Structures are given as C-alpha cells and as structure tokens.
C-alpha cells in the first residue's frame, strides 16, 4: 500500500473516531446509532443511483463509436491498459473543458467529458485526463467518497439533534460547555477531513492516470489548461449547489478560483500536482510528500 492509500485509510479512521466521540458527547449512544443509520441509508442510496443522478444533472448524453469513433477508441484503449471494462461514454454540452467519472464499480462505470475539453485539449492531453478518470474507477473512489460523506452527514445530523436534546445527552456528569464547543467545531472538522481525503484521492488518480497513459507531462499540461479555462468559462445551466456537491468528481474544480478556503478545497493546488507529475516524467517515480 503506497503513501496516498495509507493516508486515506488514516483520514477515514480519524473521521470515524471523530464521529463516535461526537456522538457520545452530543447525543449519547442512541443519537449515535440513529444518525449513522439515517446517514448510511441516504448516502448508500445515492451510491447506487449516483451515476444516473449526476449524469442527468449535467444533461450528459451517451455516445458510441458510431457518433464519436476517435474518442470512443481512445477510452476503450485506455480502459484496456487499466484492465477495466469499457465504461459508458457520455458527452456533456458545456464549453468549459472538464470531465468526470462515476459509477458504483468498474462494471457499472461511466466517463463523461464536456464538448469543450474535446475541442480545447490536444489528443495526448485528453488521453491524460481520461486516464485520470479511469484511475478513479480503478481505485473505487466513488465508494470511498460515499463512506466519507456518510460520516460527515451523520455528524451534521448529530449537531442538528443537539438543538432538540440537552447538550451532552442524558449522561450523568456531562459537560454542556464541552458539548457546545463540539457542536460548533465538529462539523467543520469533518468537512476538513472530507476535503483532505478528496485531495489525497486526486493525487492518487494523478499517479495512476499517468501510469495508464504513459505521459505524466500531458496530464500536467491538461490540468493547467483546464484550471485556466475554468476561471474564464463557467458551467452553464447548472446550479451552484449542484456543482458544489459534485465538484470533487472533476479533475479540476469547475468553480472559478478563489471561492473556497484551501482547507475546504476538494482539489490539491494545481501547481503542486504539476510539479509531482513532471517529477514523474523525469524520474519515472511519483513525488510523494
């Protein structure tokens, strides 16, 4: 297991521990169980339906080899190199160059690319981006994100429960002041953990994607071009709340830069990603922290 994977496991474990501690402080055992069951039911329903939901959200249209032979063959070749089944291929009617992968497992996966990315990027840059998305499928990052979102959602529910129950639950000797502090800080800490896990998975997708495509420098170039375009070309016809909930799925945040504090960013700094990929281009090894 590499350093990125170990870091993901550590952060997910930390999120689970935080959830259990907060549950005991705010709602006792009962509140902990209720919040977890509700959050698990909501998010795993989303896990099973996420591919259809997000594709519909972006008005993505499925295409085949007849309509897009060059793109279809590119995805098929890269999927074969990644030892993955051919994913369903979709085109998003947006000018902003971007892409995402979705699906609960490799057998039910989809790759969606915008019309803009097909036009703007070179063939090799596009190969790098598609390989990055296939890496997310290979690494089962949708499942990882669902598990983390379940914990974060449950923490938010516990915080809401605390408004209707005595702070600290009914446990004798509980400290309402401590519970109040936890009520305020726990959801923020959970979102920071969620963002950190997402950033770690992006680094890993960069590494694996570069191995699949065999051209780390082309993925680096594509990330720079997508980031610059995202600042100039907004996503049209998609609500900000929808983009906020799906921004982690894209290789570069589809929001223009500067909207979120770095601690809550779902993506690593692009220049840092580029530096690591260029190091990989020169040495053959990905630059871990």
Residues forming the active site: 133
Q: What is the DSSP letter of 169?
A: T
CA distance 100 to 81: 19
- C-beta separation of 247 from 255 below 8 A: yes
Query: Nearest Cα to 171, choosing from 179, 160, 163?
Result: 179
Give the largest CA-CA distance in the chain. Answer: 70
Alpha-helical regions (H) of the chain? 3-26, 28-57, 69-81, 115-120, 123-138, 141-161, 176-213, 216-232, 240-246, 270-283
Cα dihedral sign, 46-47-52-58 = positive
Centre a 10 Å sphere on the Cβ of residue 56 and count the other Cβ atoms it contains: 9
- C-beta separation of 208 from 138 below 8 A: yes
Q: At what angle do helices 270-283 and 216-232 cross, to 10 degrees?
A: 160
């Amino acid at each position: 297991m590499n350093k990125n994977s170990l870091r993901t496991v550590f952060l997910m474990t930390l999120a689970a521990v935080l959830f259990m501690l907060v549950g005991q402080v705010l709602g006792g055992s009962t509140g902990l169980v209720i919040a977890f069951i509700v959050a698990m039911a909501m998010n795993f329903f989303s896990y099973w339906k996420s591919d259809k939901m997000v594709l519909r959200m972006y008005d993505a249209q499925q295409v085949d080899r007849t309509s897009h032979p060059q793109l279809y063959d590119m995805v098929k070749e890269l999927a074969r190199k990644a030892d993955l089944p051919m994913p369903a291929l979709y085109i998003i009617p947006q000018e902003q160059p971007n892409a995402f992968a979705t699906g609960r497992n490799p057998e039910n996966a989809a790759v969606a690319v915008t019309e803009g990315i097909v036009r703007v990027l070179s063939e090799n840059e596009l190969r790098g981006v598609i390989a990055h998305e296939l890496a997310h499928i290979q690494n089962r990052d949708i499942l990882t994100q669902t598990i983390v979102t379940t914990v974060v959602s449950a923490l938010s529910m516990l915080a809401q429960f605390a408004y209707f129950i005595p702070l600290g639950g009914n446990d004798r000797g509980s400290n309402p002041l401590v519970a109040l502090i936890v009520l305020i800080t726990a959801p923020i800490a959970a979102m920071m953990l969620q963002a950190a896990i997402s950033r770690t998975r992006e680094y890993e997708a960069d590494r694996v994607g570069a191995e699949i495509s065999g051209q780390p420098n082309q993925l680096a170039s594509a990330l720079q071009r997508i980031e610059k375009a995202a600042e100039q070309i907004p996503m049209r016809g998609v609500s900000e709340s929808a983009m906020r909930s799906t921004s982690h799925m894209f290789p570069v945040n589809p929001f223009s830069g500067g909207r979120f504090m770095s601690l809550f960013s779902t993506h690593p700094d692009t220049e840092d990603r580029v530096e690591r990929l260029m190091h990989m281009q020169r040495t053959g090894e990905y630059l871990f922290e």
